[in-house]
Chain A
Amino acid sequence: MAQVTQKKGRGRKIVGILALLFVLLGLYFGLIKAPPDAYQGEVQRIMYLHIPSILTAYLSFFIVFVGSCLFLWKREKRDDILASSAAEIGVLFTGLTIIEGSIWGKPTWGVWWTWDARLTLTAILCLIFVGYLMLRSLIEDETRGAVCSAVLGIIGFLDIPLIHMSVYWWRTLHQPPSILRPDKTPWENIHPSMLIALAINFVAFILLYFYLLSLRFRLGEMKEEVKTSKLYGGAS
């Protein structure tokens, strides 16, 4: 058992070191190697954080969705721990996305914020999962809290396809996607010298994400271990 934990810990450490390397590489490519945008200038570099942030948040809420479904189906504690860990980190990355977007929006659009469909739905996504975390701490019966939050986690995830399609379904100030679209390849929208900086930063964010998720998941597991050992008087 101890050996398994150690092995897990080593894997996490490797992911952490890789994340650090890619973050540094991403900073170099994003700030120095990539050219400024012809139209927007230097401020376009925020894109190298903004797109990876939101894609990481999407991934995170997808993990909440999967974990919540599994928990409702099999009622295993670890699925709930996974879902709640992912929800916490997802809120972090959604918040970052909104902040980065605001900093970018002021010089390009001229406003920090506007209530167009995409921005509004992203704010709703953030609020749903803040609500998710609040719900968990408010309901005292743990199993009930887990069930309620799992339902909310599944509903909350459904906001993501809406966010993605919002720029097609409604008139928005936000531009259509550059990457995730079937009709055009990414390098048609983004020059290869910029796309590589974006790709490196994306890898960095994903690695960092799994490092954080693994740490947060372990913390949840340890809390659970402490609780069970207290229950059965193992650590009196």
Chain B
Amino acid sequence: MPNTRRFLIGGLIIVAALTYLIYGGMRQAIVYFVTPSELKGQEKPSKDKFLRMGGMVVAGSLQKDPPNLTYRFQLTDGVELVPVYFRGIPPDLFAEGKGAVVEGRLGADGVFMATTIMAKHAEEYSPPQQGKTPHPKSFVPGQEAKRP
């Protein structure tokens, strides 16, 4: 049955090539968001280019101006800080000390002008307990790539 074998080998090669392309391609091309360190470390700052940045909202950095719907805060990956400006309605789970991914452009003054805020969420679920505020570790800087 040389035909069947040829078919099998051909199929396997195609599958292997596809897997390699998807894995290799996505690993390099799909960087869903950059960290503040990566953004600051760029040789040619990507000003005015649409990008996403992910990090933790620095505790104490959030300044809200509810009448104008503007929010100013800083995102950190534990190493660098990037100030962010946002006008609009952030998601309910957006808070200080929690993870967030922002979409927008880096302004000339180094302030990230966000058009969208997304709250990053942890994989932990528990009922509310009296006198205990939940602290899900929704974003641990530099931990994304760690496998179990």
Contact = CB atoms under 8 A, between A and B. Distances in A.
Interface residues of B, number: 42
Contacts of B79: none
Interface residues of A, number: 43
12 contacts: A35-B127, A35-B128, A38-B129, A39-B136, A108-B119, A110-B94, A116-B32, A158-B15, A169-B145, A170-B30, A170-B32, A175-B120
Contacts of B23: 162, 169
A40 B120 CA distance: 12
Contacts, number: 118
Interface string A170-203: 1111011110011110000111011000000000
Given A110-B90, A172-B32, A178 B124 contact: yes
Contact of B124 (A107, A151, A172, A190): A190
Interface of B: 11, 14-15, 18-19, 22-23, 26-27, 30-33, 54, 90-94, 101, 116-129, 134, 136, 138, 144-148
Nearest to B132: A38
With most chain A CB atoms within 10 A of its CB, the pick from B23, B26, B32, B138 is: B32
A37 B136 CA distance: 11
B123 A108 contact: no
B26 A170 contact: yes
Contact of B15 (A35, A155, A177): A155
Given A170-B31, A175-B121, A194-B125, 13 more contacts: A37-B126, A108-B93, A109-B120, A110-B94, A154-B15, A170-B26, A170-B27, A171-B145, A176-B123, A189-B123, A190-B126, A193-B127, A194-B127
A36 interface: yes
A35 B15 CA distance: 45
Interface of A: 35-40, 44, 47, 107-111, 114-117, 120, 151, 154-155, 158, 162, 165, 168-173, 175-178, 181-184, 189-191, 193-194
Contacts of A107: 91-92
A219 B93 CA distance: 47
Nearest to A177: B123
B118 A173 contact: yes
A183 B143 CA distance: 15
